[in-house]
Amino acid sequence: MQVKGKIALVTGGTDGIGLEIARQLQAKGANVIVCGRREDFLATAREEGFEAIKADLSSADGCSAFLRDLGARPLDILVNNAGMSGNFAPGDPLDLALTDRAIFLNLNAPMHLIGTLMPMLLDRPEAAIVNVTSGLAIAPRAGGPVYCATKAGLRSFTQSLRHNLRDTNVHVIEALPPVVDTAMTRGRVGGNKMSAKECAAQIVDAIESNSKEANVGMVKLLQAVYSISPALARRIMIKF
């Protein structure tokens, strides 16, 4: 896909991976709309030249309000990046309210946006849907059961959606980041972390090259291990 001149929407585009995706699409000549919850981040995004819309996509009402604010403007690229961990400490009771929010934001919201915006995307000369899942969608870790479940669900949805749209102008891409240095992982996940900038660069490259998947960083190795032995991949990742 030629990114220059395209209109892109990046959810969760005011911070972390989403902001870097927005910046890199903009640098390549795209007109980028971002959404997020924090007014200070939205203000900073506007200073960088983005159209920034306040949105909380962790509920059906929040998705509906955002879609109303977005209006009927044309879109060529939809990047479903917004997400939250929904994790809990081992032995702690599951926070059901947090769990419900995480499930909606990570899994339901992309479906709501895709379902509503699909007629518009189908009407464009070429379009792309990018669903940001995770390497943990391939094999889960014990410390993030809710997050892993939602990302695995989004991975399955994305694969089915790609097949359903195979004969259309809409290209469906799954982006699978490794552990990335963002606000969500700081203080929660140790080890080496990829920069959000490098992660975004690989995702944008997948958009430009019409790839089916962007296996980012160490996820390439995880995919290779999983292709040989899914059980081994699960044993490695569950303790990660």
The answer to whether 35 and 13 are in contact (CB under 8 A) is: yes
Q: Which helix (H) or strand (E) holds 214?
A: strand 213-215
Catalytic residues: 147
- 222 φ, ψ to 5°? -60, -45
In order, the DSSP letters of 3-27 are -TT-EEEEETTTSHHHHHHHHHHHH
In Å, how far are 9, 108, 173, 188 from 81, measured between CA atoms?
A: 10, 12, 12, 20
Reduced to 3 states (helix: H, G, I; strand: E, B; else coil), residue 117 is helix
Question: Would you tell me how many other CB atoms lie within 10 Å of the CB of residue 48?
Answer: 14
